[in-house]
Each structure stands twice: as structure tokens, then as C-alpha cells.
């Protein structure tokens, strides 16, 4: 099986998706930012000096998903019809859980858009809290599920 992103001369190339069908494509990714429990408490109470941490992270995730083809080499620009961002908190563990869901009608999937959204939301959270907690860790960034396209469905754990 040949490499899909390398031509016969060994040069990088973008895969031609023009023959693929336009179908509904969806993906969800998640990640965590682990911090001191007192830092998470400051986020919940909106006491971080830079402002509303989760609102900033939400906008960062949406912007990042939209900019994925500018950030990931050889990624196709696709029309995103939805990007949604959800946050969960584990107060005892000092953890913010980020989930980004992306949807499109396109010839290629939105997995990288969802993952890029999680990564940049995580980076935004770290940037907002670093003045009080430089020890925070970004971890467990992963694809949770995807639907659509030739490869079908994927769900982590199934």
C-alpha cells in the first residue's frame, strides 16, 4: 500500500478528494487540563486576572477548528456547519475536561478540526492560568467518535 500524502517522487501532496461523495461528517474530541484544585476554584469563581477562562477557551476552540487547514499541513479546507464546545470539571482532581464537536457536509472528515479545537482550548486555559499555576498539564487529547465517510463510524471504547 502506497503512502497517501507522498507522490511518486517522494514529495508531500494533498490527497485529491474530488471523487469522494459529499456526506454528513461529524467528530468529537476531548482533552483535559489538570491544575491545582485551588486554580480550578478560581476559574469557577471568575477570579483569574485575565478574565473568563472558559469563555476565552471556547472562542479559541472555535477559531482553531476554523483555522485547521492553516495549522495542519495538507489538511483540506472544509465548510464547518457547526463547532460546539463543552466543559466539565472534576473539582477534586483539579481538572477541566474539554469536548469539541464539529460537523460538516463535505468530502473529507472533521476529526482534525475537533482535535485542533481541543488543543487550542487547552492552550488558552493554560495561558489564562499560568500566572497562578505554571504546573498545569494538558493531557489526554483524543478523538472520541466520528461518523460519516468511507471509513464509517469510530467510537472510543467500542
pTM of the model as a whole: 0.92
> Could you tell me the end-to-end alpha-carbon distance of the chain, in angstroms, rounded to an integer?
27
Closest of 58, 69, 71, 70 to residue 17, by C-alpha: 69
**pLDDT at 3 (0 to 100):** 67
**Active-site residue, 127 included:** yes
The catalytically annotated residue of 16, 52, 70, 127 is 127
What are the extents of the domains in the chain?
Answer: 33-148
Tens-digit pLDDT profile for residues 111-139 = 999 999 999 999 999 999 999 999 999 99
Q: Give domain 33-148's CATH architecture.
A: 2-Layer Sandwich (3.30)
Task: Quote the CA–CA distance of 132 and 51 in Å, as a whole number.
Answer: 13
Amino acid at each position: 500500500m502506497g503512502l497517501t500524502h507522498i507522490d511518486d517522487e517522494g514529495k508531500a501532496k494533498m490527497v485529491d478528494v474530488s471523487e469522494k461523495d459529499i456526506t454528513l461528517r461529524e467528530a468529537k474530541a476531548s482533552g483535559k487540563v489538570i491544575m491545582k484544585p485551588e486554580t480550578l476554584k478560581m476559574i469557577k469563581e471568575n477570579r483569574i486576572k485575565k478574565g473568563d477562562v472558559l469563555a476565552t477557551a471556547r472562542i479559541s476552540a472555535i477559531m482553531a477548528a476554523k483555522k485547521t487547514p492553516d495549522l495542519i499541513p495538507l489538511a483540506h479546507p472544509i465548510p464547518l456547519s457547526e463547532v460546539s464546545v463543552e466543559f466539565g470539571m472534576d473539582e477534586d482532581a483539579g481538572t477541566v475536561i474539554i469536548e469539541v464537536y464539529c460537523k460538516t457536509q463535505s468530502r473529507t472528515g472533521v476529526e482534525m478540526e475537533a482535535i485542533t479545537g481541543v488543543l487550542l482550548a487547552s492552550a488558552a486555559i493554560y495561558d489564562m492560568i499560568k500566572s497562578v499555576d505554571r504546573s498545569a498539564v494538558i493531557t489526554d487529547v483524543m478523538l472520541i467518535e466520528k461518523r460519516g465517510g468511507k471509513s464509517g463510524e469510530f467510537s472510543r471504547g467500542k
